[in-house]
Amino acid sequence: MGLLTLSLTSNATQPVEADVATSQAAAANTNMFDPNYWMAGANISIPPAISTKPEFNAAHPSAWMKLVNPISHMQTHKMFANPASYTQFMRPQFYLEFINPQNMMAWVNPASYQVMMEQQTMNYWMNPASYAHMIDPAMYQETLNPANYMVYLNPNTYLGLMGSGTCNAENPNNTSGWFGSTC
């Protein structure tokens, strides 16, 4: 007990630095019942961390043709192997594409399947060497990269999903979330 008292009294006689003094003064002026105190440090005007442009529109056949097309197949495969791209499936805009009449009409348009009907595409997929990329470890490096999971630890990702990414209606980064885009 004596050592604790000695420790406290010896620290009380030390000079207080300027930044410590200002932080102590600020702490003394806090009002826990003031709503402005709670929101003073919040910066809600930050754009959301998730992309507003969908990378894969599952409601349109052109997205599925990217998987069939030998030229764009590798990029689409890598997009699916990257966990950071999965946030697009959490956005309401992704699901609203399924009720878009233009997307529905694209499914019955034979021109949407032109890539699949090309002879070069069929020849490419008939070759067993086309499937060798599935066992290539380089295709799955994005899954093992911890930086691709950081989007899930960013609070702005979830603010964007809730529609709280920004309070400015003229801001192009203002996307409607599950609960609207109002503040």
State the DSSP string of 127-155: SGGGGGGGG-GGGGHHHH-GGGGGGGT-H
**Average pLDDT for residues 128-155, to the nearest whole number?**
87
Please, what sign has the CA dihedral across residues 34, 36, 40, 44? positive
**Average pLDDT value over all residues in the chain:** 74
What's the whole-model pTM score?
0.59
Residues 6+ apart with CB under 8 A from 177: 91, 92, 160, 161, 162, 163, 164, 165
Residue 81 pLDDT class (50, 70, 90 cuts): confident
**Average pLDDT for residues 107-122, to the nearest whole number?**
93
The amino acid occupying position 136 is D
**pLDDT tens string 5-58:** 544 455 444 444 544 445 454 555 666 566 555 555 544 444 445 555 567 889
- Helices 73-81 and 61-68 cross at an angle (nearest 10°) of 110
**pLDDT tens string 154-178:** 887 877 777 654 555 566 655 556 6
